[in-house]
Amino acid sequence: MAGWIFVLSLVAAIVAVYRPFGDYMYRVVTGTRHNAVERTVYKAVGVDPQAGQTWGVYARSVLAFSAVSLLFLYLFLRVQDKLWLSLGLPAVTDHIAWNTAVSFVTNTNWQAYSGESTMGHFVQMAGLTVQNFVSASVGIAVAVALMRGFAAKKKTLLGNFWVDLTRITLRILLPICVLATLIFMVAGVVQNLSGGTDVTTLTGAAQHVTGGPVASQEAIKELGTNGGGFYNANSAHPFENPTTWTNWLQIFLILLIPFSLPRVFGRMVGQNRQGYAIAAVMAILAIGSIALTVAFENHGGGTVPQAVGSAMEGKETRYGVTGSAVFAAATTLTSTGAVNSFHDSYTALGGMMPMVNMMLGEVAPGGTGSGLYGMLILAVITVFVAGLMVGRTPEYLGKKIGAREMKLASLYFLVTPILVLAGTAVAFATGNNTTALNLGPHGLSEVLYAFTSAANNNGSAFAGITVNTGWWDTALGLAMLLGRFLPLILVLALAGSLAKQQPVPESEGTLPTHQPLFVGMVAGVTVVLVALTFLPALALGPLAEGLS
Amino acid sequence: MRIPSWLAQHVAALRALLVFTVLLGIAYPLVFVGVAKIPGISDQSGDLTLIGQSFTDADGNPVTKYFQSRPSAGGYDPTATGASNLGPESVVDTLSDDPEEASQSLLTQVCARSLAIGKLEGVDGSRPFCTADGVGAVLAVFHRDGFTGPITRVVAVNQTDVPFVTTYQGVTVEPATNGEDYQALGGVITPIRGDAPADPVVPADAVTASGSGLDPQISPAYAELQAPRIARERGISLDRVHELIEQNTDGRALGFMGEPAVNVLKLNLALDGS
């Protein structure tokens, strides 16, 4: 009972902030007045805030920024032993540095390393935390560019990436993080530069309690749907997530931006009901998934959970089964990948749900920005499917969905399944699946989960698998890179193509895209597409394990 | 000379990254490191009672005058946090003469812990799918035609001496041999439920490792189970022990968040102090 109130209270909180916070974000991304700090940033970057960019220039700016970030972070990790606050830790090895740099630049935060034994405080702060912020901003910026594409009338310019990046970071992410950091610190999350404290336990053993600037990283880790833990144990660690209410707050922060972006979309296209429709699709899929995850975990199927009497392996006492399952669902419905419990030890079907959530394309509500643009692609596909049924030219918000738009949307949809399924197949073909800890179907689940998580830029794991080998670091690094930037380029191309169009007036044949019928259709199309793509793979892994 | 636009873009990118690194990577965290020093905001080296400990002696045996924590995959070492990551069907042990090669399945770990805690607390430590000697009750069942046909051979995969059942569907159960992989030989892995109660006396959190490996808390049920031993070992009344458990229990925040839990370190400190 308390568990369901926990879920309902989160729903109520998200509903309460949808309008005010969405409206605030709308003003941030459409505002033309820049404050002194922003003008200083523009000057330092050397950019004219008034200058608009075509989709091509916008895309090249995103790519340039990401490429420079990747290289910078890689070098940073490679020389960390020579830097301040390295805590005596050695330089990060080449393949782990590559994997980690890609991981944080792509908003994935897949961690092939253990935080407390690999990363010094300075790299955590000035390397990883920075990418937590800007990779989240990049996602939101691209989503905003797509919204501008829908809203534009015969235009070629989609806004300015550098302005979007700056304003989103400084006006949306930073202020909330400042508040959240303070709250976390009061709750017990550590924030120091200490190399740790040597403690003698009550029975006389030695224990080295770690320190670090954790609270400041924790805030953006959740808000930016990044998910990379300061420590290996991530949000299960008492210094990252000390209480039952910080657990609630972390889930809320994870869902806050992705669920409020449809409001920005509605405002941008001048019809709030279009935003409600998209938010409704997200909510239906999310609530369904959370309910299933909680139900499967509490049912406790499988030999070990039945022997135990509850699926408590890998879970903390304070969150219990429900508080863990809700977090697991939220972290994979978005592109977060933070964990407060270890999914590998979940029941077979309970552990399948995080995978399914990611396979949905992380659209319900998805990552910061990436969730909304993923969902809008699905809406475009739905409009097209509906158009085929009634034999009319499909249009969405007055924009014709022609051959070019459909090609871009279809390519977008195909990228991650190809990466996931081909990656899993190659891992098995090359024998690299043998680093999985568990045997049988669960071993396949570990490999499938790894590629699903990387290609969808999630970052959570069935963590039993050993992935700090050269092959795994390279392969998952490529999956993360392609899984982030190919869809992102396709989205910007679509935005450019939509912006050029003169909107056609609504006619009798226009499918209304704000009514329950359309909401149901988008949800249906999403589930059907994902089921068709991934059911065979799931049947070999979690379904085989859970139904045998 | 004008620099080409692709280069200009990368220069802008580098400048932007440097600006954000100073702002978000240095100023933002350091300001809060400073704020943390304001008295009352945050413990400087962290609240040490948030980090769990194991209350065992040098040989790993429970120190009986202390409440015991949950099992930990990392031995309560904050420099090696994490979980066991063993799955729900991890039921077959790797048996070997070489202790380096041998490893216990999650099921056997659960069974062994339950048995040991049962002994320590003087209660029934039995669980479903566990043998009386505290390993996973699991058979490899060989059929004539793979998955079908009459049963030809049955092996108790987690036991090398006396199997927990003598026969399975009329076929004599043999003990396992070290180093043999019966699943690879074609045996169908079959966990046997047994007749242990579905709701065992030893609580769930007592036999499972946490996700962090540092869980500072146990369930009120596990604290309750340990209370009589603590009262006996310390020569104090059971009521006094209950009182201290009560004082060190965190309820659900706002009445609905998470689960009630007892902080073991605080509780043991309180016992030492009283």
List per-residue pLDDT tens for chain A, 548 residues long. 889 999 999 999 999 999 999 999 999 999 999 999 999 999 999 999 999 999 999 999 999 999 999 999 999 999 999 999 999 999 999 999 999 999 999 999 999 999 999 999 999 999 999 999 999 999 999 999 999 999 999 999 999 999 999 999 999 999 999 999 999 999 999 999 999 999 999 999 999 999 999 999 999 999 999 999 999 999 999 999 999 999 999 999 999 999 999 999 999 999 999 999 999 999 999 999 999 999 999 999 999 999 999 999 999 999 999 999 999 999 999 999 999 999 999 999 999 999 999 999 999 999 999 999 999 999 999 999 999 888 888 999 999 999 999 999 999 999 999 999 999 999 999 999 999 999 899 999 999 999 999 999 999 999 999 999 999 999 999 999 999 999 999 999 999 999 999 999 988 888 899 999 999 999 999 999 999 999 999 999 999 999 87
Stretch B156-180: mean pLDDT, rounded? 96
Pairing of strands B148-156, B171-175: parallel
A215 interaction partners in chain B (CB closer than 8 Å): 32, 36, 42
Task: Read off the pLDDT of residues A316-352 as tens digits, 9 standing for 90 and up.
Answer: 999 999 999 999 999 999 999 999 999 999 999 999 9
Of the residues A89, A223, A313, the best mutation for testing chain B's interface (the one with the most B CB atoms within 10 Å of its CB) is A313
Rounded distance, CA A133 to CA B197, Å? 51
Closest CA to A145 of A499, A504, A514: A499
Contact present, A17 and A256 (Cβ < 8 Å)? yes
CB-CB under 8 Å, B219 with A196:
no
Cβ-nearest to B256 among A2, A202, A340: A2
A117 touches chain B (CB under 8 A): yes
A466 touches chain B (CB under 8 A): no
Task: Read off the pLDDT of residues A206-236 as tens digits, 9 standing for 90 and up.
Answer: 999 999 999 999 999 999 999 999 999 999 9
A window 257-316, beta carbon within 8 A of B: 301-316
Closest CA to B119 of B128, B111, B109: B111
CB-CB under 8 Å, B259 with A323:
yes
A367 touches chain B (CB under 8 A): no
CB-CB under 8 Å, A445 with B256:
no
Contact present, A188 and B46 (Cβ < 8 Å)? yes
Task: Read off the pLDDT of residues A268-325 as tens digits, 9 standing for 90 and up.
Answer: 999 999 999 999 999 999 999 999 999 999 999 999 999 999 999 999 999 999 999 9
Q: State which amino acid sits at residue B10.
A: H
| Confidence label for B1 from pLDDT (cuts 50, 70 and 90) | low
pLDDT of residue A299: 96
Burial of B194 from C-beta contacts in 10 A (0-12 / 13-18 / 19+): middle
Instruction: Tokens for A417, please give them.
Output: 């399944």
Q: Which residues contact B41 (CB under 8 A, 6 or more apart)?
A: A182, A185, A186, B35
Report the length, in residues, of chain B: 274
Task: Read off the pLDDT of residues B21-75 as tens digits, 9 standing for 90 and up.
Answer: 999 999 999 999 999 999 888 887 889 999 999 999 999 999 999 999 999 999 9
pLDDT of residue B41: 84
pTM attached to this predicted model:
0.97
Q: How many CB pairs under 8 A join A and B?
A: 373
Rounded distance, CA B271 to CA B274, Å? 5
CB-CB under 8 Å, A317 with B218:
yes
Of the residues A191, A220, A322, A462, the best mutation for testing chain B's interface (the one with the most B CB atoms within 10 Å of its CB) is A191
Rounded distance, CA A215 to CA A180, Å? 8
A window 146-165, beta carbon within 8 A of B: 162, 165
Mean pLDDT for chain B overall: 95
CA-based nearest distance A155→chain B, Å: 22
Preceding omega of A365 cis (within 30 degrees of 0): yes
CB-CB under 8 Å, A232 with B80:
yes
Rounded distance, CA B201 to CA A516, Å? 50
pLDDT of residue A392: 82
Q: Which residues of A146-170 are buried (b: 16+ CB within 10 A; e: fewer)?
A: bbbbbbbeebebbbbbbbbbbbbbb
Rounded distance, CA B148 to CA B164, Å? 24
Cβ-nearest to B16 among A65, A341, A346: A65
pLDDT of residue A313: 98
**DSSP letters spanning A176-190:** HHHHHHHHHHHHT--
- Check whether B274 has a pLDDT greater than 80: no
Rounded distance, CA A174 to CA A500, Å? 34
Q: Which residues of B142-178 are buried (b: 16+ CB within 10 A; e: fewer)?
A: beeeeeeeeeebbbbbbbeeebbeeebeeeebeebee
A387 touches chain B (CB under 8 A): no
Report the length, in residues, of chain A: 548
CA-based nearest distance A397→chain B, Å: 33
Phi and psi angles of residue A153, each rounded to the nearest 5 degrees, phi first: -120, 110
Q: State which amino acid sits at residue A411.
A: L
A171 interaction partners in chain B (CB closer than 8 Å): none
First-residue to last-residue Cα distance in chain A: 30
Rounded distance, CA B194 to CA B134, Å? 13
Contact present, A158 and A143 (Cβ < 8 Å)? no
Q: Tell me the H-state helices in A456-547.
A: 470-500, 516-540, 542-547
Stretch B136-143: mean pLDDT, rounded? 97
CA-based nearest distance A341→chain B, Å: 5
pLDDT of residue B45: 82
Pairing of strands B171-175, A206-209: unpaired
Rounded distance, CA A383 to CA B42, Å? 53
Cβ-nearest to B84 among A216, A314, A440: A314
Closest CA to A46 of A165, A133, A166, A162: A162
CB atoms within 10 A of CB B106: 27
- Check whether B2 has a pLDDT greater than 80: no
CB-CB under 8 Å, A162 with B16:
yes
